[in-house]
Chains A and B, each alone.
Chain A
């Protein structure tokens, strides 16, 4: 009746390439190769621990919960930021049809040692974002005898962000963070939106200003953060929503707000964005420097620059779409 259970468990001898660096000892980072018998079920973290326990006890990495909730062990495996604890090795070896895998520290943060990066700068940026609820007394009672009432729908506006474990994967993948060290980063802006979208909060103006000051409009919406987030918290989506909120709040004196207005205005007028003039509209007179640089570049390659916006056909259809949106807005139908 019952049948003996014989699980199908494999094992491959793999080469684990790990980036090493101890600032007091080395001038620059280098790779060490470790041979590991990778078994079915083995995670990247298990392999790191096995190496530390049996081959090189100085191998340095962070790990704590082992179950995808603490965010300590984010590293890059074959270039992609992942949590070491929840990443199986066998499928990676099989997918890449190689017996080698590389493990490196996260990007955009200084390396303290081997796979350990300094997350203090990110925590500082987070702290400046007012990442906490300030009681809105219209929603939160003064007494602990009562709960505040928040509907399921109100809760769902920000619930997806509360999965964030501050692991830093998004920060590592972020194009804006690598271009500008002062940019707050996806996780911090996500956290800011989480509170600004909470009906129980009363601090939205100050927090919004902090978000604008720390680069709310610097995000390039490349959406890499969405691809790498192990908890599916979609930071780029929160950033978009935070931007809309800032315009609705009347914060128009930002590059992003001007760009958004230029886009809508231009499309209404020309049927497309007036790209040649965008730098000036967004950044004011200093935008001319960018335009001149572009002009010179084009001329160097034998192309004559133009300030003309080429008018497309079908302009009247665009106008119709705008009219329809205005009509819906007038009705107060924000969802459409």
Chain B
């Protein structure tokens, strides 16, 4: 049996920061278990910035401004004590990253450069050209090597174990060998990222953002929070969902429907293409629903009128991206786009130290939900969230592991998981992973997507239950143990089906529109009844059971969210 004082599941920014924080004094054994290699993690895909009120560009910026922007952006669903901690500690963690070598772009004075960002009242997004998540991820990995963090690369987590009060560890499969192991740990930090892949092809997320940590926590009886809130970005590429950044619209790009009409004039006659993300996403979706889409259900982002020179000068990276991923040159023709699931606000419920309801089990980053993003996340706050709460979880877990002994664990779970995998490998005929996955993605996009209503949500909940039944008959055709990626896909699908159900059930229950959650049948925000966090736990009947808990309001009374 493998043992670690602290085992971190997930190697993105939150996991690596937690690992580094808990390994700094090099007195405990710290392991990071990841289904990829650490530098492949999805943190690397964040391009824009990490928010911190350093006031390097605007000397009047303060963390209190950042705090308010975050709360307002969340549509008042964020816990204000959590948002306060995040925004107040932001300058410190960004400087710590910098001291570890993170190559932020520089101002003329040689300080960390900052830029304006949507929803922020001051320019406070610290950046490194268009690769800030990438350089942060690499910096954390490099320092992890320096401090002797142990990496278990290409391992897939299977189950989370506890005795009802304290953490015992996890089970996981080593993909390279195909063997299931028990890993005993005093503390486990789940930092497995978001679950945007429940929308399957309609997401900007990496192929592996399947909510593994959130799902195993849910199956282990831990509450997961605010799962119905999923942020959509209006301009994902038609084929892959990869984002075309807001810069293209900022530079004067038009949004056209299939008929070539500049449709934003119907929804935001003044701001046109530069309206807020959620409004633009809803407008695109309305055009498609009302039959004005292109040949394959897409709308278009048109840059052709800007002319070759301006595109080459101002938007070269966006052009390259369209050519490489969509085969379309925006100088020649409009870019086909669709709104795409981008960020999961919900996740494993934690306190301000990242601790869950079980001692020694922590969650951080997109997998967790403190909550600092509430109903809608601000750009530049996701990278901040992973640093702040990765660090806090690491610090707290370190103290916990120093002061506690291992909780006994047997190999019962390992045997059960081995058996579960063996039964999926036995026999040939059964449902296909690809078919179930595609059906899940389509129904989530159509019925639990940008627009929601009770009729669609009810049918989504029942269709998801059908898919879960079908999943029970899935058979893996590939019988080789080593590097069986079909098996990994099945394990991921199991996780996604569980989480998709919680998202759909939460969305059905929440009878209001707030932030990213838009109910056609309940179009207004309803603070009287719904200023509350949704808590989902796995019921005895195998279905999610919902409870609601109050939002912490310390400073800012909820007001209408207008920009």
Chain A contacts to B: CB under 8 angstroms? 2-8, 22-25, 40-43, 46, 52-54, 57-58, 60-61, 63-72, 85-88, 90-91, 112-113, 116, 119-120, 123, 127, 130-135, 140-141, 144-152, 154-155, 158-159, 162-163, 165-166, 195, 198, 200-201
Q: Which of A86, A113, A120 contacts B324 (CB 8 A)?
A: A86
Q: Which of B40, B42, B326, B334 contacts A41 (CB 8 A)?
A: B326
The interface size of chain B toward A, counting residues with CB under 8 Å, comes to 76
15 A-B pairs with CB atoms under 8 Å apart are A2-B256, A7-B294, A7-B328, A41-B327, A58-B480, A69-B45, A88-B327, A120-B153, A132-B143, A149-B111, A154-B110, A155-B103, A162-B134, A165-B134, A166-B37
B380 within 8 A of partner (CB): no
How would residues 63 to 97 of chain B score, 1 for a CB under 8 Å from any chain A CB and 0 otherwise?
A: 00000000000000000000000000000100110
How would residues 295 to 326 of chain B score, 1 for a CB under 8 Å from any chain A CB and 0 otherwise?
A: 10000100000000000000000000101111
Q: Which of A68, A72, A123, A130 contacts B36 (CB 8 A)?
A: A72
- Give the interface segment out of B258-266, B465-473, B506-514, B550-558: B258-266
CB distance from A53 to the nearest CB of B (A): 4
Chain B residue contacts of A120, Cβ below 8 A: 153
How would residues 102 to 126 of chain B score, 1 for a CB under 8 Å from any chain A CB and 0 otherwise?
A: 0101101111100000000000000
- The reply to whether B260 and A3 form a contact with Cβ atoms under 8 Å apart is yes
- The reply to whether A152 and B207 form a contact with Cβ atoms under 8 Å apart is no
Q: Which of A5, A57, A112 contacts B334 (CB 8 A)?
A: A5
- The reply to whether A60 and B325 form a contact with Cβ atoms under 8 Å apart is no
B98 within 8 A of partner (CB): yes
Q: Which of A52, A60, A195 contacts B101 (CB 8 A)?
A: A195
Give me 16 other A-B pairs in contact (C-beta within 8 A), A69-B44, A70-B40, A162-B138 excluded: A2-B259, A7-B336, A41-B326, A57-B486, A65-B207, A67-B321, A86-B325, A123-B37, A132-B100, A133-B142, A133-B143, A151-B106, A152-B106, A152-B108, A166-B37, A195-B101
How would residues 237 to 268 of chain B score, 1 for a CB under 8 Å from any chain A CB and 0 otherwise?
A: 01110100000000000001011111000000
B350 within 8 A of partner (CB): no
When chains A and B are docked, how far (Å) is the Cα of A46 from the Cα of B207? 12
- The reply to whether A88 and B324 form a contact with Cβ atoms under 8 Å apart is yes
- The reply to whether A155 and B105 form a contact with Cβ atoms under 8 Å apart is yes
- The reply to whether A67 and B99 form a contact with Cβ atoms under 8 Å apart is no
Given that A53-B434, A133-B142 are contacting pairs, would A165 and B480 also be in contact in the complex, using a CB cutoff of 8 Å?
A: no
- The reply to whether A58 and B40 form a contact with Cβ atoms under 8 Å apart is no
When chains A and B are docked, how far (Å) is the Cα of A24 from the Cα of B108? 58
- The reply to whether B92 and A144 form a contact with Cβ atoms under 8 Å apart is yes
B interface SS class: loop
Q: Which of A70, A123, A144 contacts B96 (CB 8 A)?
A: A144
CB distance from A48 to the nearest CB of B (A): 11
Q: Which of B42, B333, B478 contacts A58 (CB 8 A)?
A: B478
When chains A and B are docked, how far (Å) is the Cα of A58 from the Cα of B481? 11
When chains A and B are docked, how far (Å) is the Cα of A88 from the Cα of B324? 6
Given that A148-B99, A198-B101 are contacting pairs, would A132 and B146 also be in contact in the complex, using a CB cutoff of 8 Å?
A: yes
Chain B contacts to A: CB under 8 angstroms? 36-37, 39-42, 44-45, 54, 92, 95-96, 98-101, 103, 105-106, 108-112, 128-129, 131, 134-135, 138-139, 142-143, 145-146, 153, 176, 206-208, 238-240, 242, 256, 258-262, 294-295, 300, 321, 323-328, 333-334, 336, 432-434, 476-478, 480-486
Chain A residue contacts of B101, Cβ below 8 A: 132-133, 195, 198, 200-201
A interface SS class: loop
- The reply to whether A41 and B239 form a contact with Cβ atoms under 8 Å apart is yes
Chain A residue contacts of B259, Cβ below 8 A: 2, 4-5
CB distance from A203 to the nearest CB of B (A): 10
Chain A residue contacts of B326, Cβ below 8 A: 41
- The reply to whether A131 and B142 form a contact with Cβ atoms under 8 Å apart is yes
Chain B residue contacts of A150, Cβ below 8 A: 106, 110
When chains A and B are docked, how far (Å) is the Cα of A141 from the Cα of B92? 12
Given that A86-B324, A140-B99, A162-B103 are contacting pairs, would A70 and B41 also be in contact in the complex, using a CB cutoff of 8 Å?
A: yes
